Structure 1
Amino acid sequence: MRRRECLVTAITIRGLDAAVKQRLAAQAKRNGRSMEAEARHLIDEGTKPSNLGLALYEGSREFGGADLEIPARDGHARVAELA
């Protein structure tokens, strides 16, 4: 069986404002992570493709959601004409 290789990479962030580092440290503490783990989490989450539909759904839940009437279907589905 072939062993799966895992490449570990590193980055250095120069010029980071001290206030940003303090906020990162505070956020890491709140989340029970080290600053490095918190930075990894933020980079990982921040670089995932966005899902607009899910974002709208989650955003509307914050304000109680939305009750939309779904009209009953009347008739049969039609085939789209693409000509």
Structure 2
Amino acid sequence: MANLTIRNIDDSVKERLRLRAAMHGHSMEEEARVILKRAVGGLNGPGLWKLSRQLFDGDQGISLALPSRDADRPAPDFSGDDTSAR
């Protein structure tokens, strides 16, 4: 495990961290670990799926216009025998 020292924290921030830690029943150090883990931990698997459904399910989603697919572009013409470009 790594160690991290944070200097120059405002007194009001430290006090709020102390109160928050007390409300959750653990130390300020543990509270800081929990906050940092949540802030940088990211989402994956089921949590990511659940969040995507909350954001984009039903009327919350977006509708994009699909591009026209009427015809293919013409195939390149390789019939010329121009070998000077090589």
5+ long unaligned stretches in structure 2? 60-68, 73-86
TM-score (normalizing by structure 1): 0.53
- How many residue pairs match? The answer is 56
How far 1:49 moved relative to its partner? Answer: 1.8
Query: What residue number does 1:54 align with?
Result: 51
TM-score (normalizing by structure 2): 0.52
Identity of aligned residues (%): 30
The list of structure 1 runs, each at least 4 consecutive aligned residues, that deviate by more than 4 angstroms after superposition, is: 50-53
CA distance in 1, matches of 2:42, 2:32: 18
CA distance in 1, matches of 2:30, 2:49: 27
* Pairwise CA RMSD: 3.3
Match of 1:16 among 2, 9, 27: 9
Larger C-alpha radius of gyration, 1 or 2?
2
How far 1:33 moved relative to its partner? Answer: 1.1
5+ long unaligned stretches in structure 1? 1-7, 60-65, 70-80
Query: 1:47 is paired with a residue of what secondary structure?
Result: helix
